[in-house]
């Protein structure tokens, strides 16, 4: 009876966060901030807000904590770009600029490790996030291209549907934090 | 009647502004719902997925408006001519460019640098969009220089039509101008944005002036409907309007021409045109107005423009003559059919009247823009992946995706595709209409891991908003409960999950598809011997030993499963059965660690027909690894490669379609059965059982046999030695054990080197010749040696005692060695006080000694031990000697090692044993010169305290 009731619950709300009979060994949490820029100084501040105007930039922060006493391998964090928002073009462009050797590694492109081995790790090379343009089925490293009618084209930031980060090892009790930005059309 | 129609039109006005395409930013109130997911490999090597909280951001309202046509004070956007004393009307369109509902206030501003001021002015809502102020259409502003009342609510991207009307004073003269600006102000936001560049200009004329307005009915249509356009007007001037030169059918004619464009997504309706005055007739163009013909083409779809031609009195010449007298009106009506595939939105249309004033100068008058809204039509489809419009046996609601055979205890993933087949963007809600009892159904986005969310706030998960004509994928995952019964009847019994997609724009529009599991493999196990053998294997073993039965546990369930191992029948009391892992199936236990279950063992369903291939598509690759042995059908194979992404495994041999439907990992176990040592010979059948943990009602057994050997055995121990005087006896204790697994009676016999006599007695002192001992039991027996009285001193008799089983013949011997000695030292030990004593009591043990022999004896050492539960009283050892002195020595380790001889009583701690040496010659050592004379005696003593 309980099982049936649960099934009904999932169908009505479409929410799933259960792997049968096991507890989550990695606790994942998401928060969002509005990125506000002082027009005079150019200084950014992150403001907690549950509302946004069209044109606003939202920074999503995902943190994941290993709640076990053993290292977790191959942790993959997936951040969707929720409808109707688009990935902030400047965010993607900064990565492209870095890859083209025109700029330093973007300051936002870091993995913040907390806990015993607290550190801020620049996410370069194979640690750069990967991007999906097909609803999360496949991911590519930037610069992302796709093939249409036999021709290869560069993907534009508005095409991205998901971003993912792969963290090789997350030690016991360690917490990682990554972030990305979207714009409200 | 006119009033009633006006109210109806206002009521339908909200419909018009409701049909909008998002263009002005994300709508206010939209919820941006985001949820991160993490996948990782846990400590057990199992892939796990977990989702974060949902983060919701609501979009706030921004306000904005545009009013067109635009125009500056120096370059007004609309120009009209009008006679003194007349009223002029200018049509405007106000669009809500914000992202939420808004209302607007309007103001008329008259230029301070023109020739005259209108003597009255107003702004009306042109609810029916016909360019005319109709009865019932509300007046929003009166006069100049002040905002009036708020407009009706306008949805984001919606628009309203406005008419600016003002009256030209009768006193003005030809050529004078006035300029009026329409200013609009948003009300919903505190910033109150305005649009204030909408100047128009009226020039006073005393010549002819042809007005033109256009209406469209109905104002909102569905694809396939018909629109009736009516263009009407009159000559409001003081002089007749003249004709212009028009070429049709290849020759020039003169007349007033009212032209109109057939709007996109419409086509001219047959015989739908008419007009006034009655002398007029229609002209048609199929090339966007370049050429005209008075004859309609056969295919009206080709008509791009239509016109009404009002000929002047001599139309065949090129002389412009009076055609429309002052005050005379005209009208032109035609109908168009809206295409069935017309997108939702506005169909705009403007007509133009071509005429000439009294001087013959060509003039044109444009009508207002008559807008018709094409309503959204909603239509949705859902079907198998890539085929949303699929039809099933009956209709488009019973198309299905067949996952074929699947296993109980597994998730089955279906990708379905939805299509927005309507003409307007729509949000497609996904619901479950039905699914098998007790199954679980979960909805995911197309990535298969992000839960399907509700993006439009109606509480129902959806695939998000889809543009007209586009499709989207989503994933339905169903869990077949572990205990689901097997079904192998093909399509006779099917297990359907019915998925429905419903239009959020029109909940009566829905479509269904079926995600089907045709057959089900129930959890199952095959327990056999290793090598594979379902028969009974017999192991022969001795009692008191263990024997191993290598077993194979084969997962036949098609999903990973763990199996409990047990003995279900036949294990006798005192026997034990223990299971060990044998992961490499070599018949030997991997480790000495017992197991009670084996697994998880991989299991999968073959998801595509096997056609002579070694690479097989499987429903999952969990727990299937290179090197694993798997069973398909009735044959074992070895996995040589696993591709977890493509969900394939490669086995060592090519197989064909008939090989089987399930791949099951073969696990190895060792059942170690231990037989107690007293187990009698014979056969014992033991049934081992493996039980599915996925579905504990599913188990399998294998019965194997232990044959216990008949074993005869006896032990007679220990060998003994002793001394005795001639004519005396010596008693030796022995233990006889039947070490076989059969009861027996043992004959007792002996041989003696010197022909002495030996007798056997039981512990009660009865003389015996045989002794009956049960299998595994022992008995005590005594052997008494009788030393002949004439035996020589130091004679050594070795007696070999033999016990022989009468029935089974087991035999063993022990040796008793007796030395004949000359003397005989008699020891008598006493304790004081006697009887039961309380802890703490000090006991004195006294041993008296006396040489009863007929000669002196030497090397006399008397041993004693501190009894259990007592403690030696330090320095209490003492005694007497007939001559010389006593020497003392002690042991603290039970008599294994001894301290050196000393003349002082031992006072060390932890003393366990004591000995006294009779140093009869006082030389400090105990040796052959210390002679205890025949009949000499003495005592030795020590004290102990009973432990608390």
Question: Residue B145 phi/psi, 5° resolution?
Answer: 85, 15
- Asked whether residue B52 is assigned to any structural domain, the reply reads no
- Which are the contacts of B765, defined by CB distance < 8 A and separation ≥ 6? none
Residues of chain A contacting B435 with CB distance shorter than 8 Å: 7
Task: State pLDDT tens for residues B788-810.
Answer: 877 777 788 899 999 999 988 88
The pLDDT assigned to A15 comes to 36
Segments forming the whole domain that contains residue B903: 825-946
How far B411 CA sits from the closest chain A CA (Å)?
A: 11
Query: On the CB side of B804, how many CA atoms lie within 13 Å of its CA?
Result: 9
- Asked whether residue A95 is assigned to any structural domain, the reply reads yes
Does B32 contact A132 at a Cβ distance shorter than 8 Å?
no
Q: Does A25 touch chain B (CB under 8 A)?
A: yes
The neighbouring-strand residues paired with B800 are B751, B815
For β-strands B345-347 and B281-285, DSSP reports them as: unpaired
Segments forming the whole domain that contains residue A149: 24-183
Residues of chain B contacting A76 with CB distance shorter than 8 Å: 38-40
Higher pLDDT, B706 or B868: B706
Does A19 contact B50 at a Cβ distance shorter than 8 Å?
yes
Residue B712 has pLDDT above 90, yes or no: no
- Asked whether residue A15 is assigned to any structural domain, the reply reads no
- The residue written with tokens 């939702």 in the block is B344
Question: Residue B8 phi/psi, 5° resolution?
Answer: -60, -45
Under the phi-then-psi rule, with left for phi > 0, alpha for psi from -120 to 50, and beta for the rest, what region is A173? Answer: left
Task: State pLDDT tens for residues B567-587.
Answer: 999 999 999 999 999 999 999
Do residues B510 and B443 both lie within one domain?
A: yes
- Asked whether residue A28 is assigned to any structural domain, the reply reads yes
The neighbouring-strand residues paired with B325 are none
Torsion angle defined by CA atoms of residues B740, B742, B745 and B747, in that order, rounded to the nearest 10 degrees? -30
Contact predicate B648/B617, CB 8 Å: yes
Contact predicate B194/B94, CB 8 Å: no
Task: State pLDDT tens for residues B914-926.
Answer: 989 989 899 988 8
Q: What whole-number distance in Å separates Cα of residue B49 and Cα of residue B555? A: 26
Structural domains of chain B, count: 6
Q: What whole-number distance in Å separates Cα of residue B212 and Cα of residue B366? A: 7
Mean pLDDT of B524-535: 92
For β-strands B861-865 and B913-919, DSSP reports them as: antiparallel
Q: Taking a contact as any Cβ pair under 8 Å apart, which residues of chain B between 28 and 67 contact chain A?
A: 30, 32-43, 48-60, 62
- Asked whether residue B653 is assigned to any structural domain, the reply reads yes
Q: What angle do CA B13, B18, B24 make, to 5 degrees?
A: 125
- Asked whether residue B10 is assigned to any structural domain, the reply reads no
Domain boundary among B820, B854, B888: B820
Least confident range from A76-80, A165-169, B351-355, B886-890: namely A165-169
Task: State pLDDT tens for residues B736-780.
Answer: 998 888 889 999 999 998 888 898 998 887 889 999 998 888 999
Domain boundary among B321, B342, B374: B374
Task: State pLDDT tens for residues B146-179.
Answer: 999 999 999 888 889 999 999 999 999 989 999 9
pLDDT level of residue B608 (50, 70, 90 thresholds): low
The neighbouring-strand residues paired with B683 are B707
Task: State pLDDT tens for residues A38-55.
Answer: 888 888 889 998 889 888
- Asked whether residue B55 is assigned to any structural domain, the reply reads no
- Asked whether residue A19 is assigned to any structural domain, the reply reads no
Do residues B500 and B423 both lie within one domain?
A: yes
Task: State pLDDT tens for residues B899-909.
Answer: 999 999 999 88
DSSP characters over B341-382: TPPSEEE---EEEEEE-TT--EEEEEPPP--EEEPP---EEE
The neighbouring-strand residues paired with B563 are B598, B692
Query: On the CB side of B422, how many CA atoms lie within 13 Å of its CA?
Result: 29
Q: Percent of chain B at pLDDT above 90?
A: 53
Do residues B224 and B323 both lie within one domain?
A: yes
Residues of chain A contacting B445 with CB distance shorter than 8 Å: 80, 135-136
Locate A59 and state its tokens: 């920074």
Does B52 contact A29 at a Cβ distance shorter than 8 Å?
yes
Whether the complex's predicted ipTM is more than 0.90 is answered with no
Do residues B781 and B755 both lie within one domain?
A: yes
Q: Tell me how many residue pairs between chain A and chain B have CB atoms under 8 A apart.
A: 180
Contact predicate A61/A34, CB 8 Å: no
Q: Is A158 helix (H, G, I), strand (E, B) or coil?
A: helix
B459 closest CA partner among B411, B507, B509: B507
Do residues B539 and B676 both lie within one domain?
A: yes
Q: Does A134 touch chain B (CB under 8 A)?
A: yes
DSSP characters over B703-770: EEEEEEPP---EEEE--EEEEE-TT-EEEEEEEEEE-SSS-EEEEEEEEETT--EEEEE-TTS-B-SE
- Asked whether residue A37 is assigned to any structural domain, the reply reads yes
Do residues B258 and B391 both lie within one domain?
A: no
Measured CA distances, B878 to B857, B893, B940 (Å):
21, 21, 6
Q: What is the mean pLDDT of chain B?
A: 88
- Asked whether residue B890 is assigned to any structural domain, the reply reads yes
Contact predicate B505/B426, CB 8 Å: yes
Mean pLDDT of B621-625: 89
Task: State pLDDT tens for residues A140-183.
Answer: 888 888 887 778 888 888 889 999 988 878 888 888 888 899 99
Q: What whole-number distance in Å separates Cα of residue B902 and Cα of residue B923? A: 12
Nearest to A16 among B435, B442, B481 (CB): B442
- Asked whether residue B36 is assigned to any structural domain, the reply reads no
DSSP characters over B114-157: SS---SEEEEEE-TT-SSS--TTPPEEEESSSS--PPPPPB-TT
- Residue among B21, B23, B33, B36 with most chain A CBs within 10 A, to mutate: B36
Task: State pLDDT tens for residues A113-143.
Answer: 766 666 776 666 656 788 998 888 889 888 8
Do residues B343 and B401 both lie within one domain?
A: no
Structural domains of chain A, count: 1
- Which are the contacts of B98, defined by CB distance < 8 A and separation ≥ 6? B24, B25, B28, B61, B62, B63, B64, B65, B156, B186, B188, B189
| Cα radius of gyration rounded to whole Å, chain A | 18
Task: State pLDDT tens for residues B191-247.
Answer: 999 999 999 999 998 899 999 999 999 988 988 899 999 999 999 888 999 999 999
Q: What whole-number distance in Å separates Cα of residue B98 and Cα of residue B83? A: 40
Do residues B229 and B198 both lie within one domain?
A: no
Question: Residue B422 phi/psi, 5° resolution?
Answer: -80, -175
| Cβ neighbours, 10 Å, residue B874 | 13
Domain boundary among B374, B395, B423: B374
Q: What whole-number distance in Å separates Cα of residue B235 and Cα of residue B443? A: 67
DSSP characters over A125-150: GGGS-EEESSTTS--BPSSPEEEETT
The domain that holds B508 is classified in CATH as 2.60.40.10
Do residues B490 and B560 both lie within one domain?
A: no
- Asked whether residue A17 is assigned to any structural domain, the reply reads no
Nearest to B52 among A13, A62, A135 (CB): A62
Question: Residue B639 phi/psi, 5° resolution?
Answer: -75, 130
- Which are the contacts of B89, defined by CB distance < 8 A and separation ≥ 6? B131, B132, B133, B163, B164, B165, B213
Contact predicate B88/B213, CB 8 Å: no
Nearest to A185 among B25, B42, B439 (CB): B25
Do residues B658 and B757 both lie within one domain?
A: no
- Asked whether residue B530 is assigned to any structural domain, the reply reads yes
Cβ density class A31-57: b for 16+ within 10 Å, e for less: bbbbbeeeeeeeeeeeeeeeebebebb
- Residue among A21, A23, A34, A54 with most chain B CBs within 10 A, to mutate: A54
Does A11 contact B49 at a Cβ distance shorter than 8 Å?
no
- Asked whether residue B56 is assigned to any structural domain, the reply reads no
Q: What whole-number distance in Å separates Cα of residue A179 and Cα of residue A101? A: 23
pLDDT level of residue A110 (50, 70, 90 thresholds): low
Does A30 contact B36 at a Cβ distance shorter than 8 Å?
yes
| Cβ neighbours, 10 Å, residue B864 | 17
Contact predicate B282/B306, CB 8 Å: yes
How far A94 CA sits from the closest chain B CA (Å)?
A: 23
- Which are the contacts of B431, defined by CB distance < 8 A and separation ≥ 6? A11, B460, B499, B500, B502
Q: What whole-number distance in Å separates Cα of residue B274 and Cα of residue B257? A: 14
The domain that holds B282 is classified in CATH as 2.60.40.740
B186 closest CA partner among B94, B67, B102, B70: B102
The pLDDT assigned to A109 comes to 61
- Asked whether residue A13 is assigned to any structural domain, the reply reads no
A124 closest CA partner among A146, A140, A144, A108: A108
Q: Taking a contact as any Cβ pair under 8 Å apart, which residues of chain A between 1 and 20 contact chain B?
A: 3-4, 6-7, 10-17, 19-20
Q: What whole-number distance in Å separates Cα of residue B639 and Cα of residue B250? A: 85
Instruction: Kindly tell me the burial class for residue B726, based on how many C-beta atoms sit within 10 Å of its own C-beta (0-12, 13-18, 19 or more).
Output: middle
């Amino acid at each position: 009876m309980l099982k049936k009731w649960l099934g009904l619950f999932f169908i009505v709300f479409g929410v799933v966060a259960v792997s049968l009979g096991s507890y989550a060994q990695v606790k994942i949490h998401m928060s969002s901030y509005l990125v506000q820029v002082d027009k005079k100084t150019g200084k950014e501040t992150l403001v907690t807000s549950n509302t946004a105007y069209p044109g606003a930039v939202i920074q999503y922060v995902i943190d994941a904590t290993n709640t076990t006493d053993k290292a977790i391998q191959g942790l993959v964090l997936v951040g969707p770009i929720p409808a109707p928002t688009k990935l902030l073009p400047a965010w993607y462009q900064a990565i492209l600029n870095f890859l083209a050797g025109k700029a330093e590694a973007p300051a936002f492109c870091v993995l913040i490790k907390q806990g015993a081995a607290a550190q801020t790790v620049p996410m370069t090379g194979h640690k750069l996030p990967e991007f999906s343009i097909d609803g999360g089925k496949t991911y590519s490293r930037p610069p992302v291209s796709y093939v249409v009618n036999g021709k290869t084209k560069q993907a534009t930031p508005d095409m991205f549907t998901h971003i993912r980060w792969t963290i090789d090892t997350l030690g016991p009790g360690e917490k990682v934090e990554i972030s990305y930005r979207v714009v409200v059309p | 009647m006119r009033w009633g129609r006006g109210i109806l039109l206002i009521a339908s006005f909200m419909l018009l502004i409701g049909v909008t395409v998002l263009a002005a930013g994300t709508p206010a109130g939209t919820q941006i719902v985001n949820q991160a997911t993490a996948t990782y490999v846990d400590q057990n090597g199992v892939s796990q997925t977990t989702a974060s909280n949902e983060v919701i951001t609501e979009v706030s309202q921004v306000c904005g408006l545009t009013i067109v046509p635009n125009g500056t004070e120096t370059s007004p956007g609309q120009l009209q001519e009008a006679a003194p004393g007349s009223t002029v009307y200018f049509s405007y369109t106000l669009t809500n460019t914000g992202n939420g509902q808004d209302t607007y206030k309007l103001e008329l501003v008259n230029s301070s640098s023109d020739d005259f001021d209108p003597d009255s002015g107003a702004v009306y809502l042109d609810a029916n969009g016909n360019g005319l102020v109709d009865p019932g259409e509300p007046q929003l502003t009166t006069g100049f220089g002040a905002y009036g009342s708020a407009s009706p609510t306008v949805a984001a991207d919606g628009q309203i039509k406005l008419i600016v009307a003002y009256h030209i004073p009768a006193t003005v003269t030809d050529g004078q101008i006035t300029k009026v600006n329409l200013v609009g102000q948003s009300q919903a936001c505190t910033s109150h944005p305005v649009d204030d560049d909408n100047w128009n200009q009226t020039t006073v004329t005393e010549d002819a002036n042809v007005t033109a307005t256009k209406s469209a009915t109905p104002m909102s249509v569905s694809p396939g409907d018909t629109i009736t356009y009516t263009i009407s007007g009159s000559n409001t001037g003081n002089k007749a309007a003249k004709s212009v030169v028009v070429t049709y059918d290849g020759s020039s004619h003169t007349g007033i021409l009212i032209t109109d464009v057939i709007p996109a997504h419409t086509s001219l309706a047959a015989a739908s045109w008419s007009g006034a005055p009655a002398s007029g007739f229609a002209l048609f163009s199929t090339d966007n107005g370049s050429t005209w013909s008075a004859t309609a083409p056969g295919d009206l779809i080709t008509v791009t423009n239509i016109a009404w031609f009002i000929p002047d009195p001599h139309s065949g010449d090129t002389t412009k003559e009076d055609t429309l007298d002052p005050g005379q009106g005209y009208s032109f009506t035609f109908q168009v059919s809206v295409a069935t595939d017309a997108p939702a939105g506005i169909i705009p249309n403007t007509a133009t009247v071509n005429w000439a004033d009294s001087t013959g100068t060509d003039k044109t008058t444009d009508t207002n823009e008559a807008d018709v809204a094409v309503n959204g039509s909603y239509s949705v489809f859902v079907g198998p992946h890539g085929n949303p419009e699929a039809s099933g046996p009956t209709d488009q609601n019973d198309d299905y995706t067949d996952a074929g055979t699947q296993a109980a205890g597994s998730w089955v993933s279906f990708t379905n595709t939805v299509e927005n087949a309507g003409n307007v963007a729509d949000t497609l809600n996904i619901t479950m209409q039905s699914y098998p009892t007790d199954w679980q159904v979960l909805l995911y986005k197309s990535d298969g891991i992000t839960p399907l969310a509700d993006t439009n706030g109606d509480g129902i998960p959806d695939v998000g908003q889809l543009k007209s004509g586009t499709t989207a994928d989503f994933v339905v995952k169903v869990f077949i409960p572990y205990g689901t019964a097997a079904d192998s009847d093909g399509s006779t019994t099917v297990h359907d999950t019915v998925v429905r997609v419903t239009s959020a724009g029109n909940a009566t529009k829905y479509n269904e598809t079926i995600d089907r599991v045709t057959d089900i493999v129930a959890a199952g196990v095959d327990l056999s011997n290793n090598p594979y053998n379902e028969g009974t294997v017999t192991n022969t073993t001795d009692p008191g030993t263990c024997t191993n039965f290598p077993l194979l546990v084969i997962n036949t369930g098609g999903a990973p499963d763990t199996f409990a191992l047990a003995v279900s029948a036949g294990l006798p009391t005192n026997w034990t059965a223990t299971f060990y892992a044998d992961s490499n199936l070599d018949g030997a236990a991997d480790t000495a660690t017992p197991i009670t279950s084996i697994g998880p063992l991989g299991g999968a369903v073959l998801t595509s027909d096997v056609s002579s291939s070694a690479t097989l598509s499987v429903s999952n690759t969990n727990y299937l690894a290179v090197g694993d042995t798997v069973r398909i059908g009735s044959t074992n194979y070895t996995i040589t490669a696993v591709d977890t992404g493509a969900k394939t495994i490669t086995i060592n041999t090519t197989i064909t379609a008939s090989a089987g439907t399930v791949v099951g990992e073969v696990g190895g176990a060792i059942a170690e059965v231990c037989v107690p040592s007293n187990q009698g010979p014979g056969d014992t059948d033991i049934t081992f059982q493996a039980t599915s943990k996925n579905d504990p009602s599913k188990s399998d057994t294998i019965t194997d046999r232990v044959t216990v050997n008949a074993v005869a055995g006896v032990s007679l121990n220990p060998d003994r030695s002793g001394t005795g005087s001639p004519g005396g006896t010596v008693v030796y204790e022995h233990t006889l054990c039947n070490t076989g697994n059969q009861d027996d009676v043992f004959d007792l016999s002996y041989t003696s080197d010197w022909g002495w006599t030996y007798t056997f007695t039981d512990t009660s002192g009865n003389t015996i010749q045989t002794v009956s001992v049960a299998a595994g039991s022992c008995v005590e027996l005594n052997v008494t040696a009788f030393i002949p009285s004439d035996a020589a001193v130091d004679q050594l008799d070795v007696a070999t005692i033999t016990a022989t089983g009468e029935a089974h013949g087991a035999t063993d011997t022990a040796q008793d060695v007796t030395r004949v000695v000359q003397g005989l030292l008699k020891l008598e030990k006493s304790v004081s006080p006697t009887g039961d004593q309380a802890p703490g009591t000090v006991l004195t043990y006294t041993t008296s000694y006396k040489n009863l022999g007929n000669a002196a004896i030497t090397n006399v050492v008397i041993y004693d031990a501190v009894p259990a539960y007592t403690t030696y009283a330090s320095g209490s050892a003492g005694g007497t000697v007939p001559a010389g002195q006593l020497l003392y020595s002690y042991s603290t380790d039970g008599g294994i090692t001894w301290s050196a001889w000393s003349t002082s009583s031992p006072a060390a701690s932890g003393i366990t044993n004591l000995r006294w040496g009779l140093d009869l010659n006082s030389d400090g050592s105990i040796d052959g010169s210390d002679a205890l004379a025949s009949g000499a005696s003495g005592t030795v003593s020590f004290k102990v305290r009973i432990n608390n």
